[in-house]
Chains A and B, each alone.
Chain A
Amino acid sequence: MSGSLASRLVPTALFVVAIVFPLAVDNPYLVSVVVTAYVTAIAVYGLDVLLGYTGQLSLAHAGFFGIGGYTVGVLTADHGFSFWTALPVALALTVALAHLIGLAALRTRHDYFAIFTLAVGVMIVIVIDRWAEVTGGTDGLIGIPPPPAIGPLRFDTLTTQYYLALAFLLLTIYVVWALVHSLVGRTFLAVRNSEDLARAVGIDAGRTHQLSFVISAALAGLGGSLYAVFLGYIGPAMGNVQMTFMMLVYLMIGGVASLAGPLVGTLLVMGLMQALQAFNEYQMMVLGPILVVVIIFFPHGLAGQGRRLAERLTVGRAGDAAAR
């Protein structure tokens, strides 16, 4: 099948491009944009786990991104932790908080869940904003040190940080891929498509939603932790609802419930936004209608369009073969 050959070739080619990219491109600014896109994409994969595979819209997603980022930021910049010890703490905290919030939030579904998580998201930002003695308040945190070296591996240059971000991104994609293709992933889809039906075949829908929510938040926390350490400074805006909105834009444009969608959408939109910095002022005014158009006309995003194109090609070829 040419389809499966292409589906092997394309990722391999992209992987090679990703590896040589920082060596071939002599533009530190561009490389740093891609690093930011990679770590943001990790959080977008988290959003996709929840929205794409169990069908719930969490508006607190950037809140968990913020919790991850601030935990790493506060521990490394103010308390002398190394990134490598701060990261597990940040992940544990995100998971614990997500579990608690999930217990309350997942008593609801769909619209009520979205409203409840919106309130949670706003509360997280209020806490970050007001708890100034720890978080730095509206001024944010500066001076977050880069990850210290592990043995011979040093992470104090942009190129090495790029490879670290890429490694975490690939790990995330692998985890999401393995999840989606596991029995757990099937139960996610079953619960998304019909909760009643899923219950009827013996799936514990409550636990499935809870698991999806916690995994989703954990990826947001991981993305946020890396975002903080690579940028070196953070502000409360990284946790607000506007950030969740941006992640939704990346996800919907790239394509929901697809393995490539979150990365494609994040790279494309972040790249375009950097290229069109002159229009920064109009960013929200432009992205809002784009999101609406995507939802109405291309609800499966670029990945969905790509899949449809591939299907049309294979079907066309199969038709030719049958005619012969």
Chain B
Amino acid sequence: MTLFFQQLVNGIALGSVYALVALGLTLVYGVLKVPNFAHGALYTAGAYVAYVVLTGLGYPYVVAVVAAMAVVALLGAAMEWVVFRPLEGKSPVHAMIAALGVLFFLEGAADVIWGPDFRQVPTPLDGVVSVAGVNITEQRVLVVIAAIATMSGLYWLLKRTLVGMSIEAMAQDREGALLVGIDTRRVALITFAISGVLAAVAGSLIAPLVLVFPTMGAVIVLKAFVIVILGGMGSVPGAIVGGYLLALAETMAGTYVAFAFSELIAFALLVLVLVVKPTGLFAKGV
């Protein structure tokens, strides 16, 4: 039973990261209607900024996380402004190919700057919390708390602020949003910045628990796509629920079935969803 609770906690920590990455992807899909294949690179960028600020500049961890959020928000906004805005109104295939161009540019840039080797980010919180025989590293506790705080902040933003409501309006109906006077370009820019912040929180929080390398975002973004398709493209609650569910399924399968099996779950789910209901299990009707 202890093992079960141990894995439950690990799954929740991993799920927090999945949910954050999937949220950014789903928000951008909502306003742009294009899957941003470069999203994983934003997550990677968050991890590298945290690495530089922590080990290169020697600032405290909080500063590293905040710096990652700021830098990656700018990176996300720049992506919208330079790449996706000029492609507005063109075939979505063009935007998808452009997103791949951005992805390989950012991965290539990380490779040129830091090289292909794995980097380790020192854990600022190396303690362990023990609750009823379950040992949780403080970093994992931090991941969960920070992720929940970020998601609460996002919820507040979407439901209580004009910017957030504009994002939701645009996701529901782009022309309608334009008609009621919403500056859709500005909203798209802000949405990309927010998706950058979410990816940066995920990347900088997970960095001390994993290895940092140029293509570290490739697998997680694929899982985020599965989560978003499962939860419905553009759905915020779907991304959160899907993120935790996938992570729990992976950790539990890794513990009780076979470790090699765990990373195939996402793909199996994707095939299943597409065969059963291609538009996503919980997708809203149009």
Task: Name A's B-contacting residues (CB within 8 A).
Answer: 51, 55, 57, 59, 104-105, 107-108, 110-112, 114-116, 118-119, 122-123, 130, 241-242, 245, 248, 252, 281-292, 295-296, 299
**A288 and B108 in contact (CB under 8 A), knowing A111-B34, A112-B229, A245-B100?**
yes
Q: Report chain B residues within 8 Å CB of A290.
A: 101
B111 contacts the other chain (Cβ, under 8 Å)? yes
Please tell me if the beta carbons of B275 and A104 are within 8 angstroms of each other in the complex.
Answer: yes
Please tell me if the beta carbons of B274 and A116 are within 8 angstroms of each other in the complex.
Answer: yes
Expressed in whole angstroms, the Cα–Cα distance for A292 and B106 within the complex equals 13
Q: Tell me how far the C-beta of A270 lies from the nearest C-beta in chain B, rounded to whole angstroms.
A: 16
B162 contacts the other chain (Cβ, under 8 Å)? no
Please tell me if the beta carbons of B93 and A51 are within 8 angstroms of each other in the complex.
Answer: yes
Expressed in whole angstroms, the Cα–Cα distance for A307 and B129 within the complex equals 68
Q: Contacting A119 at CB < 8 Å: which of B107, B225, B275?
A: B225
Please tell me if the beta carbons of B104 and A123 are within 8 angstroms of each other in the complex.
Answer: no
**A292 and B104 in contact (CB under 8 A), knowing A107-B275, A111-B35?**
no
Q: Tell me how far the C-beta of A195 lies from the nearest C-beta in chain B, rounded to whole angstroms.
A: 14
Q: Report chain A residues within 8 Å CB of B87.
A: 295-296
Q: Tell me how far the C-beta of B37 lies from the nearest C-beta in chain A, rounded to whole angstroms.
A: 7
Q: Contacting A284 at CB < 8 Å: which of B105, B219, B225, B260?
A: B105
Q: Tell me how far the C-beta of A114 lies from the nearest C-beta in chain B, rounded to whole angstroms.
A: 5
B267 contacts the other chain (Cβ, under 8 Å)? yes
Expressed in whole angstroms, the Cα–Cα distance for A118 and B101 within the complex equals 15
Please tell me if the beta carbons of A119 and B92 are within 8 angstroms of each other in the complex.
Answer: no
Q: Report chain B residues within 8 Å CB of A241.
A: 218
Expressed in whole angstroms, the Cα–Cα distance for A281 and B109 within the complex equals 10
Q: How large is the interface on B (under 10, 10 to 19, 20 to 34, 35 or more residues)?
A: 35 or more
Q: Contacting B274 at CB < 8 Å: which of A107, A110, A123, A299?
A: A107
Q: List 27 A-B contacts (CB under 8 A).
A: A55-B91, A104-B274, A107-B274, A108-B274, A111-B34, A111-B92, A111-B233, A112-B274, A114-B35, A115-B35, A115-B229, A116-B270, A116-B274, A118-B222, A119-B225, A122-B267, A242-B104, A245-B104, A248-B100, A252-B97, A284-B108, A285-B111, A287-B108, A292-B98, A292-B105, A296-B87, A296-B98
Expressed in whole angstroms, the Cα–Cα distance for A288 and B91 within the complex equals 19
Q: Contacting A285 at CB < 8 Å: which of B35, B90, B105, B274?
A: B105
Please tell me if the beta carbons of A291 and B97 are within 8 angstroms of each other in the complex.
Answer: yes
Contact with A along B227-268 (1 / 0, CB 8 A): 001000100000000000000000000000000100000110
Task: Name B's A-contacting residues (CB within 8 A).
Answer: 33-35, 37, 82-83, 86-87, 90-94, 96-98, 100-109, 111-112, 218-219, 222, 225-226, 229, 233, 260, 266-267, 270-271, 274-275, 278-279
Q: Report chain B residues within 8 Å CB of A281.
A: 111-112
Query: What residue in chain A is nearest B109 (Cβ atoms)?
Result: A285
Q: Contacting B104 at CB < 8 Å: which of A55, A119, A252, A284?
A: A284
Expressed in whole angstroms, the Cα–Cα distance for A59 and B92 within the complex equals 15
Q: How many A-B residue pairs have CB under 8 A?
A: 109
- Kindly name the residue among B83, B94, B274, B275 whose own CB sees the greatest number of chain A CB atoms within 10 A: B274
Q: Report chain A residues within 8 Å CB of B107.
A: 284
Give the secondary structure class of A's interface: helix
- Kindly name the residue among B83, B86, B96, B112 whose own CB sees the greatest number of chain A CB atoms within 10 A: B96
Q: Report chain B residues within 8 Å CB of A111.
A: 33-35, 92, 96, 233
Q: Report chain B residues within 8 Å CB of A283.
A: 108
Q: Tell me how far the C-beta of B282 lies from the nearest C-beta in chain A, rounded to whole angstroms.
A: 15
Q: Report chain B residues within 8 Å CB of A287.
A: 101, 104, 108
Expressed in whole angstroms, the Cα–Cα distance for A282 and B105 within the complex equals 9
Expressed in whole angstroms, the Cα–Cα distance for A242 and B97 within the complex equals 12
Q: Report chain B residues within 8 Å CB of A105.
A: 274
Expressed in whole angstroms, the Cα–Cα distance for A57 and B112 within the complex equals 29
Please tell me if the beta carbons of A104 and B104 are within 8 angstroms of each other in the complex.
Answer: no
Expressed in whole angstroms, the Cα–Cα distance for A105 and B273 within the complex equals 11
Query: What residue in chain A is nearest B79 (Cβ atoms)?
Result: A292
Q: Tell me how far the C-beta of B17 lies from the nearest C-beta in chain A, rounded to whole angstroms.
A: 19
Please tell me if the beta carbons of B108 and A285 are within 8 angstroms of each other in the complex.
Answer: yes
